[in-house]
Amino acid sequence: MKCIRDKDDFLIPFIETLTNPEFKTGTPEADQALLKSLIVFACLMEGLFFYVGFVQILSLGRQNKMTGAAEQYQYILRDESMHCNFGIDLINTIKLENPHLWTADFRRELTELFHRAVELEYAYAEDTMPRGVLGLNASMFKEYLRFVANRRAQQIGLDQLFPGETNPFPWMSELIDLKKEKNFFETRVIEYQTGGALSWD
């Protein structure tokens, strides 16, 4: 699907920065390249690109549909939130130790990347929900993605990108802060419905 391929193409240059064995820090240009790649992965991949899918499945779970998948997504969402928060802490530590990297030009470049990421994830929402389903439609995600992008930008010290955007899915904030822990191997499944009895005759 083009919308997924476009997101991959957006990420690949930053993957190559992080996986290139010849890459070395130590110059402002190289250090900015590393910082930019960390920002793309923490704030945009982990912190934005998964969120349309999370809302789609978790909203179905709130309507008692696909409850098993929705429960699994709650734990995936918590995991991604931890990755995102760790990355943001790392980014802010690098900024604190290297304030010379945080130039006006660098901030402008990051702002363009944030805007592009919002466009890419919104295209995914349009492709996966062309007609809407069960109270959700693609246009709702435009506001949500802008809200999330604002939050990620502010977490690393950028200005709001989309002033005034609000969260159309406030229940997502509760799920992100999920504290419940579970050992899946010790969980008993008690939610099966029985439609009738088997006859062995």
What CATH number does residue 130 fall under?
1.10.620.20
- Residue 115: predicted pLDDT: 97
The answer as to whether 45 is a domain residue is: yes
Per the document, the length of the chain is: 201
Tokens for 107, please give them: 């901030």
* Number of domains present in the structure of the chain: 1
Query: 10 Å Cβ neighbour count for 167?
Result: 15
The answer as to whether 176 is a domain residue is: yes
Question: Are 87 and 49 contacting, i.e. CB atoms less than 8 angstroms apart?
Answer: no
The answer as to whether 163 is a domain residue is: yes
Residue 193 pLDDT more than 60? Answer: no
Report the SS3 class of residue 133.
Answer: strand
The answer as to whether 47 is a domain residue is: yes
Tokens for 22, please give them: 């010849």
The answer as to whether 201 is a domain residue is: no
Q: At what angle do helices 51-62 and 104-128 cross, to 10 degrees?
A: 40
The answer as to whether 175 is a domain residue is: yes
Q: Which domain holds residue 74?
A: 2-19+27-180
pLDDT band at 201 (very low <50, low <70, confident <90, very high): low
The answer as to whether 189 is a domain residue is: no
pLDDT (tens digit per residue) in 6-18: 999 999 999 988 8
pLDDT (tens digit per residue) in 38-96: 999 999 999 999 888 888 888 888 888 888 888 888 888 888 888 999 999 999 999 99
Q: Report in angstroms the alpha-carbon separations of 49 from 21, 29, 63, 98.
A: 27, 27, 24, 28
The strand pairing partners of 136, in sequence order, are 133
The answer as to whether 186 is a domain residue is: no
pLDDT (tens digit per residue) in 123-158: 999 998 888 777 788 888 889 999 999 999 999 999
Question: Are 32 and 5 contacting, i.e. CB atoms less than 8 angstroms apart?
Answer: no
Which helix (H) or strand (E) segment holds residue 8: the answer is helix 2-19
